[in-house]
Amino acid sequence: MATISKETAKRLDPEKLAISALALADLEGLEAITIRRLAQQHEVTPMALYRHFSDKDDLLAAIGDRMLADIALPEPNDDPWDVQLHAILTAFVAALRPHPKVAQLAMFRILVTEPGLAMAERTMELLTEAGFSVDDAAEVGRQSLCSLITLVTMEPGATEVTDPVAREDALRAKRASLAALSPRRYPLITAAADTLVCPASTDRYYDFGVELVVAGVRGVLPARQK
């Protein structure tokens, strides 16, 4: 029976494989992720990878886990619940921002991995302190995280073609298409064509998105708690 050398075994560390798969997905998208493609990248046979991942779904789960491992969850403090919630959601977004092409994988791993469970527990704790029931806190937390994942995956321009020249050409074509609309019929859209196609500040795009989610949570608090 063939054996794997110590050098190969080290190269096939599951954590390093997940990092490689994530980097490939960031570059080429989820469709590029296969056991065979990753094996080629590491110069081993696909069977060598099956020692660590049972199938492609298992590999995708590892990518999701890798992203969630980067959440720098802030410590509890004496700030108001909504300030602390804002900090937690900002940390979640910060972990996903570099990976818009695969950020959706994180949603399925939040209640599986330790970093995701810690974030979910702390989020629900803050929401129950604010006045939500446990069930409502679960729903509010889930929808908040879903909204932020969508914020990442839909960042304007983030999932365009990788080549910077081709990407700029694609964005320029989109701007021209909006700018060509009738300004009398669509005065606001034509005036904001640049921003609609690609935000002037990505940081502002995300800060505003997190603040909208937190403001929405405040808005649906039980009336007696407002």
179 and 132 share one domain? no
176 and 137 share one domain? no
CB count in 10 Å sphere of residue 210:
23
40 and 128 share one domain? no
Write down the pTM of the prediction.
0.85
Question: Any idea what the CATH number is for the domain that residue 10 is in?
Answer: 1.10.10.60
Contact between residue 34 and residue 50 where contact means Cβ atoms under 8 Å apart: no
Total count of domains within the chain: 3
pLDDT tens for the chain, 226 residues: list them.
344 444 454 467 888 999 999 999 998 888 889 999 999 888 888 898 888 888 999 999 999 999 999 999 999 999 999 999 999 999 999 999 999 999 999 999 999 999 999 999 999 999 999 999 999 999 999 999 999 999 999 987 766 556 667 777 777 888 888 888 999 999 999 998 888 888 888 999 999 999 999 999 999 987 545 5
Is 74 part of a structural domain of the chain? Answer: no
Is 1 part of a structural domain of the chain? Answer: no
For residue 208, give its domain range: 81-155+199-221
148 token code pair: 């932020």
